[in-house]
Chain A
Amino acid sequence: MARASYDDWNFMGEVHTDEQRVRSARSGRARQINNARNSFIFLCIVILMTLMGLVCIYSASYEMAVNEGRPHYYYLMMQGIYLGIGVALMVFVNVLPETGLKILSPVMFFLCIVALAVEIILKKTLLMTPDTVGVLFLSGVMYMSLYFSGRNNRIERLRQIIPPLVGSLLVLVLILMQRNFSYAVMFLALMVTMFAAGGVGLVGIILLLLYALVPAACMLFSTSERILAVAEFFVPGFGTNVRAESILTVKSAIASGSWFGKGLGGGLYKNGVIEDIAGRNILACICEELGFWGMILIILFIALYAFVGYLTARNIRKYNCFFSNLATGITTMLVWQFILNVAWVLGYIPGEGLPLPFFSFGIGIIPVLFESGLLYRVTRARTGSDKDERLMDSIQNELMFPERYDFENR
């Protein structure tokens, strides 16, 4: 039978059993340790993937650099510069207070909408490149996180989702006006995730998707090349895929890697055979040099990143909706980016493709590190239980050592 005792330190004068006290103390402490451990594990994954990416980029690009008459470390050096900017942003995000992030979110989203409009008017590419489109997606995620956290992730009336809905539709229309269907689909998928995280129920999301289905179908079948792309997806060899040759070469490179690969730096396909080998097509080089098991290792890292991201989102959901939504959105974005890159490289989806996060050469690493910095900030955020525990500690100190506190002259 559990022994009941009076808790002298508790002002409410509640009676607690020993087991309850031990359990509550353990769970609070365990959560605190888990949070600290999660943030450290997350940091380790980010460092590991960033450095491995750097090695892979170097391995994929040195032939190209030598062929161009540049020093063999030219692309490594360039990537190092981008990495430096990304790390600086990562640090900036981690020292920025939560209020600052909340101010930054709508500002970023607004600036991205303006940039998209300017692109259409001036007919220049600013945001809609594979490397920079991540900024647009991130701004959408940050804005939605802030909006839904303002309502504690509880949407009860339809009119409450009008502002994010209008914002999403505006961005979608602006993307589609630039005839980029694949990025529009990616943005739509992210917004659906954010709506789900923000408390819009399954029925609401299905209804929204049904509404989006008709204009999406109209846009999809508005140009002949899209019809051909869809037809080719179902009937291989039906249309004229401009990437058909490249896809075949990429598949040959991947197959040549076999189980264990040719070793880092030993690849043969990087010598101008595959275009953009250090960028969006780096998967071919990685598979050729590291083989099947190397690729599995990278998939495991991404899975661990996703696991820590979603776990953090779940842990913090009760205490901070903004951070929870942010963690869900960022993790989904990175996982989607990885999956879409693999599908694009293997020719399963059309479009311009996205860079492989952490592994592709280019300024695409900057938004990825910015996102990782945000997620690290979320993993480091204190939960409510930590605050309660600190409050209890201070009360206990005051009662145990009253001489330290001058109550009468307060």
Chain B
Amino acid sequence: MRITKAERFMIVLTILFINVCLLIPVWQSARHTQLRREVARTEQMLREKEEEKMVLSASIARKTTPEYLIEQAAVQNIVFTQIGTDASSLVARADDNVR
């Protein structure tokens, strides 16, 4: 039995097609693994940022207490003097309560 050129071409194409079919699910699996790893990494980063944010909020909260203010005033040798209402001016804060 002689195999014609067209048949040979078809056979080689079939081999290529079979291997491409085998490659596609592996490619999907690999991409899935890479994306899963990226999601895990991003989630880890988000958790770290959240933790950092909480630490910062706690630090700000601690630093706004009167106790801390008095303590730091003593450390930095600052004396509080009472000022009259006429001499005081309103300073805006980046806070939602103050417009």
Contact = CB atoms under 8 A, between A and B. Distances in A.
14 contacts: A33-B2, A40-B3, A44-B11, A44-B15, A47-B15, A55-B23, A62-B33, A71-B34, A72-B31, A72-B34, A264-B22, A264-B25, A265-B26, A265-B29
Contact of A47 (B2, B12, B34): B12
Nearest to A50: B19
A63 interface: yes
Contacts of A59: 26, 29
List the 7 shortest-distance A-B pairs measured between CB atoms, nearest first: A265-B29, A62-B30, A51-B19, A72-B30, A265-B26, A72-B34, A59-B26
A52 B22 contact: yes
Interface of B is mostly: helix
- Chain A interface size band reads 20 to 34
B33 A33 contact: no
Contacts of A323: none
A239 B22 CA distance: 43
A73 to B, nearest CB: 7
Given A40-B3, A72-B33, A58 B15 contact: no
Nearest to B2: A33
Contacts of A72: 30-31, 33-34
Given A37-B3, A44-B15, A66 B34 contact: yes
Interface of B: 1-3, 8, 11-12, 15-16, 19, 22-23, 25-31, 33-34, 37
Given A33-B1, A72-B31, A264 B26 contact: yes
Interface string A37-48: 100100010011
Contacts of A51: 15-16, 19
Contacts of B34: 62, 66, 71-72
Contacts of B8: 40
A266 interface: yes
Contact of A66 (B2, B23, B37): B37
Interface in A41-81: 44, 47-48, 51-52, 54-55, 58-59, 62-63, 66, 71-73
A263 B22 CA distance: 10
A266 B29 contact: yes
The main secondary structure of chain A at its interface with chain B is helix
B15 A48 contact: yes
A59 B11 CA distance: 25
B41 to A, nearest CB: 10
Contacts of A263: 25
Interface in A236-285: 263-266
B10 to A, nearest CB: 12
A151 B25 CA distance: 54
A96 to B, nearest CB: 23
The residue among A44, A66, A73 with the most chain B CB atoms within 10 A of its own CB is: A66
Given A44-B12, A52-B19, A66-B37, 7 more contacts: A33-B2, A37-B1, A51-B16, A58-B30, A62-B34, A66-B30, A66-B33
B12 A55 contact: no
Contact of A58 (B1, B11, B26, B37): B26
**Residue of B11, B12, B27 with most chain A CB atoms under a 10 A cut-off:** B27
B20 to A, nearest CB: 9
Contacts of A33: 1-2
A73 B30 CA distance: 8
A50 to B, nearest CB: 9
B95 to A, nearest CB: 43
Contacts of B1: 33, 37
B17 to A, nearest CB: 10
Contacts of B30: 58, 62, 66, 72-73, 265
B29 to A, nearest CB: 3
A71 B34 CA distance: 8
